[in-house]
Amino acid sequence: MASNKIGLENMENPHEEQQKMLLGRIVSNVKKLNEVLEDMNSRIQEINEYNRDIVILSQFWSNYSRNATFNLESMQKLMEPM
């Protein structure tokens, strides 16, 4: 029985080399994917920072427009749009 165990331990998986290669490719592709996702996240963060400035400007303009309309109406000098 002991000789059978030794014989089985020494038998190699015929697909082991192919499995190692596939696992290596998977690991490599996951590393590349991670790098791309990190780059994409940093670019999205930059876009969000630029958009924040646009949102603030839009809020300023909206407030200005609302205040100007209120003041013109209170002075009764608001003209009808053409």
In this prediction, residue 23 has a pLDDT band, given cuts at 50, 70 and 90, of very high
36, two tokens: 């791309």
What integer is the mean pLDDT of 46-57?
93
4, two tokens: 């059978």
pLDDT for position 7: 52
Write the CB contacts of 19 (distance below 8 Å, at least 6 apart in sequence). 13
Amino acid making up residue 48: N
Q: Supply the pTM of this predicted model.
A: 0.53
Write the CB contacts of 78 (distance below 8 Å, at least 6 apart in sequence). 69, 72
What integer is the mean pLDDT of 60-77?
87
Asked if residue 76 has pLDDT above 90, the reply is no
User: How far apart are alpha carbons 31 and 75 in whole angstroms?
Assistant: 66
User: How far apart are alpha carbons 79 and 69 in whole angstroms?
Assistant: 10
